[in-house]
Structure 1
Amino acid sequence: MLKEFALEPEAIATWASFKDLIEKFGVSKGRVIACFPRKWRQAVLRAAQVQARDVELVRIEEKLRRLEGLVLLNRERPSGDGALPWLDRVLVEHARLPFDGIIVRERQRPHPEVLTTDEIDDDLPLFHATGQKHIRRTADEIVDCVALLVSCARTIKLVDPHFKANEPRWKRPLLRLLTLLRDQHRTGVSIEVHRANNARPANIRSYFESTIPRMLPPGVGLSVHLHPEQARHNRFILTERGGASYHTGLDDNEEGRSTDEDLVTLLEPATFAGEWRAYPPSDEPFLAYPASS
């Protein structure tokens, strides 16, 4: 659902090329730019200093400051051999961990995943993306919608008023999320479960106590935060880089107890910012499971 593209710094080194391409990216549009190499923004500015006029350079520099997060995604990919041309470095990294596409100013060699800026078109299969889609309610598809965001998140908020980690239909998606973090060797990650205060405290505690301590991988903590039931009806997976809303819930339908499909929407920047603020962590959460070393 969310695609990650490598974008050659020289391809956006003038204001005209910069604004035409950048507006096609953003979490809500289903496309993000990979921060590759790690000093990608500095590389754009160096290219702009050669190609852009002074007033254009200032505009590009100002816009670059606001790209982090909802447009530019830093997955801490290795930058490769700095002595090699950008495309050579990208193709080496692409072989290790594929991008969804690679965008260059001019074609240097044939490659099925490489597009030039002149070839960019929303209807082109390689570039086509969407911020909204129907998914099957399986653990894999629920989590895969936000897998790119999870891969670089420090805080992950699971918002579902009925979340019960001990019930298989919620446990499976949570386990899929935790497996993703473990396989990527992520540490220092905090997961917040925001649910309704709609049961006796002892019952809510039982939803997590028997399950969470055995599930958490090293370096990942989890806390549970309660909200008045009437104030919380929506379902989200949120990270500091963006998030998605789930029309039905964060539980799967492997047992056939509900609908087979769900409608998932990647949040627009303003909507995301409002929902992120709406679920602040409590100073004293109802439950907390610190990250193990």
Structure 2
Amino acid sequence: MHAIFAIEPEAINNWQDLRYALEKFGYSKGLLIVRYPKTWMRLVMEACRRRGLGDVELKRIEEKLQNAKDDRLVRIGLAFEGASWLESVSAEAVLNQISAVLVRDQIVSDKFHRIDDAHENLFDNRREVRVKRNANALAESAKYVLTASDHFVLVDPYFQSRRKCTKVLDGMLRICRENDAIPNQVIIFSDHSKDSRSLAVVKHEYEEHLRAWIERGVNITICRVASDQLEQDFHARYLFNQKAGLRFDRGFVEPEDHNEREHETDVICMDTAFSNELYARFIEARESIDIVDEIML
């Protein structure tokens, strides 16, 4: 769901333009900047030096870039093969994976926008999307949050060991594998009261459906929580890590009815503060949660 922008290093070769550009982006805003090429941050600094900026301003820009690295810059493996940045980013294979390109001057396609006169609408309405309720679409919408960390957390009272749920998790892990970002750990919080079957039966079913990922070394923990404390926490379903989070209004379930899979649901970028709050509660203060039982795969 996140829109990916490329920014020409020469377009942000000073503090004012760099700050203006970077403040438009972030996981919580649904907007990310691709590190294109992987040395993009270094290219920005070189452009600033060519501009003749002083040491104080260069230091400030370097710190701003470092701070942005974790919450708005991503790598997506785009080929850099032209004689220049502009030539490389103009390649069809690159442009097909980018929502927009911010440049200093040269406009070579309708995806290019001059940084000085880019319309604010270009950055609006990126926090929320509607996606089909099939496993692939649900997983794909979370691609950049899933691959932002070495672990992620799902909170969904209705998540169960049944195939309709584990198929969505399988889709998410495949997205991670395809992007060379298989997580070390996945933690799931669900409502114990929603499934009356024995712990042994539930664990066996999880193992059957997720065996391929367990054998790959992904540690999967399912915490089944007492329902009397979930009314406040489980109004919606969440996917998050220590960097970002998404709210899935209909949860992590692929309907068994094929027609219902064509129906759409909302996926929304969570504010950074709320994402941090969830992470603190469910991970950093997990001992305060009344967990009925815990399944470790």
Q: Which TM-score tier does this pair reach, normalised by the shorter chain?
A: 0.7 to 0.9
Q: Distance in 2 between matches of 1:193 and 1:130?
A: 27
> What does residue range 116-131 of structure 1 map to in structure 2 within 5 Å?
116-124=114-122, 129-131=125-127
Distance 1:36 1:218, change over 3 A: same
**Aligned residue runs from structure 1 range 40-119, under 5 A:** 40-51=40-51, 52-75=53-76, 77=77, 80=80, 84-92=83-91, 94-95=93-94, 98-107=97-106, 110-119=108-117
Question: Which residue of 2 is the match for residue 211 of structure 1?
Answer: 209
Change (3 A) 1:67 1:160: same
How big is the shift at 1:92? 4.8
How do 1:3-14 and structure 2 match up within 5 A? Answer: 3-14=3-14
Deviations 1:134-181 (A, max 9, x none): 43323233222211232443212222122113242x133223223323
Q: Report if aligned partners of 1:122, 1:129 keep a CA contact under 8 Å in 2.
A: no
- Secondary structure of the equivalent of 2:21? helix
Could you state the TM-score of these two structures normalised by the residue count of structure 2? Answer: 0.80
Q: Which of 169, 172, 177 is residue 177 of structure 1 equivalent to?
A: 172
CA distance in 1, matches of 2:5, 2:260: 38
Instruction: Tell me which residue corresponds to 1:287.
Output: 295
Shift of 1:86: 1.8
In the aligned structure 2, how far is the partner of 1:105 from the partner of 1:267?
31
Displacement after TM superposition at 1:214 (Å):
4.4
Q: Secondary structure at the match of 2:101?
A: strand
State the one-letter code of the partner of 1:179.
R
| Percent identity between the two aligned chains | 22
Contact 2:222 2:294 in 1 (8 A): yes
> Quick one: which amino acid aligns to residue 120 of structure 2?
D
Whichever residue aligns with residue 105 of structure 1, its letter is: R
SS of residue paired to 2:68: coil
Measured after TM superposition, the shift of residue 206 of structure 1 is: 4.4
Structure 1 stretches of 5 or more lacking a match? none
Compare the two structures and name the one with the higher helix fraction: 2
Moved more, 174-183 or 32-41: 174-183
Instruction: Tell me the number of residue pairs that the alignment of Structure 1 and Structure 2 aligns.
Output: 283
- Comparing 226-235 with 28-37, greater Cα deviation is found at 226-235
**Is the CA contact (8 Å cut-off) linking 1:6 and 1:101 kept in structure 2?**
yes
* Farther-moved stretch of structure 1 (213-222 vs 64-73): 213-222
The answer to whether residue 186 in structure 2 is matched with residue 191 in structure 1 is: yes
Aligned partner of 1:276 in structure 2 is: 279
Aligned match of 1:262: 265
Instruction: State the match for 2:248 in structure 1.
Output: 246
Aligned partners of 1:115, 1:177: CA distance in 2, in Å?
33
Question: SS in structure 1 opposite 2:69?
Answer: coil
Shift of 1:4: 1.0
The more displaced of 224-233 and 211-220 is 211-220
Q: SS of 1:66's equivalent?
A: helix
Consecutive unaligned residues of structure 2, counting only runs of 5 or more, are 288-292
Partner residue in 2 for 1:226: 224
| Cross-structure match for 2:290 | none
- Give the partner amino acid of 1:246: F
Q: Quick one: distance in 2 between partners of 1:240 and 1:89? A: 33
Q: Distance in 1 between matches of 2:94 and 2:33?
A: 18
**Counterparts of 1:112 and 1:100, CA distance in 2:** 10
Letter in 2 for 1:57: L
Letter of the 2:103 counterpart: V
33-42 vs 226-235, which moves further:
226-235
SS of 2:252's equivalent in the other structure is: coil
- Aligned-pair CA distance for 1:112: 3.2
Structure 2 residue matching 1:115: 3-state secondary structure: strand
What is the TM-score with the length of structure 1 in the denominator?
A: 0.81
In the TM superposition, residue 236 of structure 1 has moved relative to its aligned partner by 0.9
Q: Provide the C-alpha distance between the structure 2 equivalents of 1:184 and 1:93, rounded to a whole number of angstroms.
A: 20
Q: How far does residue 254 in structure 1 lie from its aligned partner after superposition?
A: 4.6
C-alpha distance after superposition, 1:206-256 (max 9, x if no partner): 451332214657354422233333244141111343120122321133527
The SS at the match of 1:210 is helix
Instruction: Compare 248-257 and 62-71 and name the one that shifted more.
Output: 248-257
Q: Judge conservation of contact 1:80–1:93 (CA < 8 Å) in 2.
A: no
CA 48–235 in structure 1, closer or farther in 2 if over 3 Å, else same: same
After superposition, the Cα gap between the structure-2 partners of 1:133 and 1:257, relative to the gap in structure 1 and judged at 3 Å, is closer
